[in-house]
Structure 1
Amino acid sequence: MPMSAVIGNTEKTQNLWLAKLITAALFLVVCLSWGTTWLGIKVAVESVPPLTSAGLRFLIAFPLFLIFALVRQDPIFFPRKQTGFFVFVTLTYFSIPYYLLNYGEQHVSSGLTALLFSSMPVFILIFSSMFLKERIYTSQMVGIAIGFASLFMIIKTQGLHLGHTGIFGVAAILVAAIMHGFCYVITKQKGSAISVLTYNTLPIGVAGFLLFVSGLWLESPDLGAVTLRSWTALAYLGVIASVGGFIAYFILLKRLSPVILSFVFIIFPVFAVIFGSWYEGQPISSDLATYSAILLAGFAITKLPVEKLLSKNAKEHLG
């Protein structure tokens, strides 16, 4: 083989490994940025009420999203015929759920919040069956049962009981997960032609404004009393967790299959539990570790329908 061909093959191999390394690094960035989001929210609401906190986060993120959209020359506005869908996304994906998450974290640990929210892909599966007529396989139903049974045991072992404020925090976070799952399915049905940047940019700006103004009216926050720690957390949430994590995820959409990329929702709660335990000074109990592992394993099963994969492999083998 000519020396030039050998050098060419070596360069291709090196480029392939570099591409894989970059992809792995981006995947880790997304897991870390989304895994630390929950701790950031926890710190932010220490001295900023939940409505105001959610609004400030989005108001910080909006100019950066706007610049990113302009650089990529993506449209800012939704198509005129989809104004109603724009309102739906602004309210059910950004405004209400993020207020609920901020409210919930006033009463629930950041690690438990992430574990609760990791149920969101399961709600996507359920709503896809209801609205898109997609099939739920037996193995996925088993995974759902395992996941939610483990989630119940986690809540029980964490000492949250009916009548305590903690249960309202849990309910708020689960409602946020349900709303996100519902919004994802309706988006697949009605907004698949809208670019990812268009989908995020203006809704984030409008939601940030609505949440912040609502916070000023209903919460009357004393912004002068906000601690440096909370401001830092808000800046982190707006710049790193929202924009940085989004850009990394945006790039990964073109590099990985949706199934592999969806495992971000299984991995980031692990980081959230670890960072939350460190910040809040609470050791991870054996019960929490065990039930969390079972929960994430159950939700992972929902992403890999065994029957569908076996059927596909059988058809390929016969073909």
Structure 2
Amino acid sequence: MNNTFLYIITVLIWGSTWIAINYQLGGVAPEVSIVYRFGLAAIILFTYCKFKGLTLQFSLRHHLQFFLFGITLFSFNYYFLYSAQQHINSALTCIAFSMIMFFNVFNARIWYGTKITQQVYVGGALGLLGIVTLFWPQISDTQLGPETLLGLGLCIMGTLIASTGNMLSMKNQQMKLPLIPAMAWGMAYGAVFMAVIVVIQGKSFNFDYTFAYVSSLLYLTIFGSVIAFASYLTLLNRIGAHKASYASIMFPAVAVIISTIVEGFSWSTYTFAGLLFILAGNLVVLIRPKQQLPSASFSEKPTYEAEQVSIDQTEMKTQRL
């Protein structure tokens, strides 16, 4: 699919899943809801792989990679994010999670030596300014209590773990592991691992048969897990973590609108200004500068591939001479 289309899908779906997660909280423990969500998503993906004839046979080394990939991107991170929403509203959780772009920028540099352009720094700074502006009423509130601080702390922890999962997804690509089977095994391992945690904690695998819980579970499974993750991880491998993860900074634009309708979120000057900064940062990060090589554009692959092609062409010319 076109990268722009994948980006829009990711933003719209994950910007809306925050409110769906709210309907998962209550009678069913967050850990149990995670098991249901990613267990169902894994079944869907395994079925798809069988139908399409995609291989599901991998070595023990690959399964270890899938396990680490699964517990960081489909298990622990969501446990912390689900738990955070028991203390803060969906808009604040979404805004806090938007910090994943900055974690990805630094992790990509550490893990893979990815060079970050000035364009990304400027866009990221605008995005951060937008997030701070959106969040300013809560930051400046002198009555910030332990509930809000706990919720933000849990969200940041989940974001850090999710960023590690992003790096492991890029490692899957380097190891030439197919995306959909990798997602299937990763989600399966994430669900099984979280199920073990539930058993250790002594919690029961109960179920909420209300329309709100079942419909939100199906939405999170099909759209929030299968479709959104396939779109995002494809984008991650094509344009790099630093650009793909800017989608997370766009989530508040969707989450705030939904929170306004469902939770009565009140807009202020900070809301308008914050969203404008976020949109401006989005344009800076994703739009190709006039003097930049086509390989660095939003619609092409990461820069290092273009550099390798240039090197290969130079060597061919040298051999001819």
Q: TM-score, normalised by structure 2?
A: 0.75
Q: Distance in 2 between matches of 1:267 and 1:84?
A: 33
Closer, same or farther: CA 32–152 of 1 in aligned 2, 3 Å = closer
Residue aligned with 1:136, SS: coil
Deviation at 1:149, TM superposition (A): 4.1
Q: How does 1:67-78 map to 2 (within 5 A)?
A: 67-78=47-58
Assess, with a 3 A threshold, how the Cα gap between structure 1 residues 186 and 33 changes in structure 2: closer, same or farther.
Answer: closer
Which string of whole-angstrom CA distances, capped at 9 and with x for unpartnered residues, describes residues 144-190 of structure 1?
Answer: 34433443443341367665211221222222222222332343245
Is the CA contact 1:93–1:179 (under 8 Å) kept in the aligned structure 2?
yes
Which of 81, 85, 98 aligns to 1:105? It is: 85
Runs of 5+ unmatched residues, structure 2: 295-321
Identify which of 62, 76, 80 aligns with 2:60.
80
Q: Where in structure 1 are there 5+ consecutive unaligned residues?
A: 1-18, 314-319
1:133 aligns to 2:113 (yes or no): yes
Residue 235 in structure 1 maps to residue 218 in structure 2: yes
Shift in alpha-carbon separation, 1:68–1:216, aligned structure 2, 3 A: same
Of residues 38-47 and 153-162 in structure 1, the stretch that sits farther from structure 2 once superposed is 153-162
1:276 Cα deviation from its structure 2 partner: 2.0
How far apart, CA to CA, are the structure 1 residues paired with 2:202 and 2:261? 30
Where does residue 308 of structure 2 map in the other structure? none
> What's the offset of the Cα at 1:200?
0.7
Check the 8 A contact 1:49/1:219 in 2, yes or no.
Answer: no
- Are 1:78 and 1:198, in contact at CA under 8 Å, matched by a contact in 2? no
- DSSP 3-state at the match of 1:236: helix
Deviations 1:24-83 (A, max 9, x none): 777654433222211111111133222112111112212111111112222235433334
Q: Distance in 2 between matches of 1:139 and 1:32?
A: 24
In 1, Cα distance between equivalents of 2:230 and 2:70: 20
The answer as to 2:228 corresponding to 1:245 is yes
Q: Alignment partner for residue 282 of structure 1, among 221, 245, 265?
A: 265
Report the Cα distance in structure 2 between the residues aligned to 1:200 and 1:34, rounded to whole angstroms: 17
- Give the TM-score normalised by the residue count of structure 1: 0.75
Tell me the equivalent position of 2:46.
66
**Partner SS, residue 74 of structure 2:** helix
- 1:180 aligns with 162
Q: C-alpha offsets along residues 103-147 of structure 1, whole Å, 9 cap, x if unaligned? A: 111122222222222332332221122222222233433333443
Residue identity opposite 1:165 in structure 2: E
The answer to whether structure 1 residue 312 and structure 2 residue 259 are counterparts is: no
- SS at 1:166's partner residue? helix
Find the counterpart in structure 2 of residue 202 from structure 1: 185
Aligned residues: 289
Q: Structure 2 matches for 1:268-279, cutoff 5 A?
A: 268-279=251-262
Q: What is the match of residue 305 of structure 2?
A: none
RMSD: 3.4
Correspondence for 1:37: 17
Q: Which amino acid aligns with 1:312?
A: L
Residues 1:31 and 1:206: Cα distance change in structure 2 (over 3 Å): same
Deviates more, 1:208-217 or 1:40-49: 208-217
- Give 1:201 deviation, angstroms: 0.2
Alpha carbons of 1:215 and 1:162: their partners in 2 closer, same or farther (altered >3 Å)?
A: farther
| Cα distance in 2 for residues equivalent to 1:135 and 1:97 | 26
Q: Structure 1 residues 293, 105: closer, same or farther in 2, change over 3 A?
A: farther
CA distance in 1, matches of 2:129, 2:87: 22
**Could you tell me which residue of structure 2 aligns to residue 123 of structure 1?**
103
3-state SS of 2:293 partner: helix
CA distance in 1, matches of 2:239, 2:292: 20
Q: Which moved more, 1:165-174 or 1:257-266?
A: 257-266
Is the 8 Å Cα contact of residues 67 and 189 (structure 2) preserved in structure 1?
no
Contact 2:256 2:265 in 1 (8 A): no
Work out whether residues 122 and 302 of structure 1, in 8 Å CA contact, stay in contact via their aligned partners in 2.
Answer: no
1:47 to 17, 24, 27: 27
Please tell me whether the aligned partners of residues 46 and 230 of structure 1 are also in contact (alpha carbons under 8 angstroms): no
Contact between 1:120 and 1:177, CA under 8 Å: does it hold in 2?
yes
Pick the aligned partner of 1:168 from 150, 154, 161.
150
Q: Which amino acid aligns with 1:107?
A: H
Answer whether contact 2:134 2:271 (CA < 8 A) is retained: yes
